[in-house]
A = this chain, B = another copy of it.
Amino acid sequence: MMKCGVFDSGIGGLSVASELLKAGLFEEIIYFGDTARVPYGNKNESTIIRYSLEVLEFLKNFDIDFLVVACNSASSVAIEDLRKEAGFPVVGVIEAGVKALNAQKESKILLTGTKRTILSGKYQYMLKNAGFNNIIPIATPLFVPLVEEGILEGKIVDEVFELYFGAIDKNDIDYVILGCTHYPFLEKSFQKHFPNAKLIHSGQAIVELLKNEYCLKEKYDTKIKLFASDNPEELRSKAKGWLKL
């Protein structure tokens, strides 16, 4: 049985699970949200690594064949440690996001994410390694609570966009990397403010990476199991809406 573990610090990774469900690459997805310790974004590197390895131990109990790290903070600091311990392929949203850019190398890329993701420099490092040099990294931490409150468009969102992006020429951006699993829910607002940009969505990027590099095929009617370290009922109720379970 082809099983994939999906791990996020909270419920945001459901945006990645949603794309995996639609794609049908696996027979079963085991989702774990570390909701007792969310968010990872403001924690130390060593703490994030320790938490990530604990989640891996939990997911190993399900005999998973792949691990998708849907959490950008964990992707940026814990992916190497997870690979050493896993014994199966581990893919993270950051490398997937970078690989999804089939852009001209001179494209102007706006990179958004939590403070920890942006400050870690991991995304910027991987983008530069892939030949991209025209990168504007901006930490946009208020987007997470806005999404969690269900405020996805309107005046407040527009003001927050102005706060973060007021100083840049929005028409001139070719790609916007939605570098946090919560951000795809703000897709409409992003597209309105960046009319000429292609949005890079972690979930879609992960699906493309799994198809291209691991030759996985869209052939299953994927089931999903949901686990959380706290408030599993909230995770399930969000999943009901977002994943149409």
A160 contact set on B, CB distance < 8 A: 156
A149 contact set on B, CB distance < 8 A: 141-142
Tell me if A159 counts as interface (CB < 8 A to partner B). yes
Q: Which of A20-58 contact B (CB under 8 A)?
A: 35-38, 42-44, 47
**Closest residue to A43 on the B side, CB-wise?**
B230
A231 contact set on B, CB distance < 8 A: 42-44
B37 touching A47, Cβ below 8 Å: no
Tell me if A155 counts as interface (CB < 8 A to partner B). yes
- How many A residues, CB 8 Å from partner? 23
**Closest residue to A37 on the B side, CB-wise?**
B37
Bound Cα distance A146, B145 (Å): 9
Tell me if A167 counts as interface (CB < 8 A to partner B). no
Bound Cα distance A163, B149 (Å): 11
A71 to chain B, nearest CB (A): 16
A151 to chain B, nearest CB (A): 8
**Closest residue to A10 on the B side, CB-wise?**
B42
Contact with B along A109-151 (1 / 0, CB 8 A): 0000000000000000000000000000000011011101101
A155 contact set on B, CB distance < 8 A: 159
A216 to chain B, nearest CB (A): 34
A145 touching B141, Cβ below 8 Å: yes
Bound Cα distance A146, B42 (Å): 15
Bound Cα distance A144, B39 (Å): 14
Given A43-B230, A231-B44, A156–B145 Cβ distance below 8 Å? no
A110 to chain B, nearest CB (A): 19
Bound Cα distance A19, B225 (Å): 48
Bound Cα distance A145, B146 (Å): 9
**Closest residue to A139 on the B side, CB-wise?**
B149
Contact with B along A84-128 (1 / 0, CB 8 A): 000000000000000000000000000000000000000000000
Bound Cα distance A37, B38 (Å): 7
Q: Beyond A36-B37, A159-B159, list 4 extra A-B contacts (CB 8 Å).
A: A35-B42, A144-B145, A155-B159, A156-B163
User: Can you name 10 A-B pairs with beta carbons within 8 Å?
Assistant: A36-B37, A43-B230, A43-B231, A44-B230, A141-B149, A142-B145, A142-B146, A145-B145, A151-B163, A156-B156
Name the 3 nearest CB pairs between A and B, nearest first: A145-B145, A156-B159, A43-B230
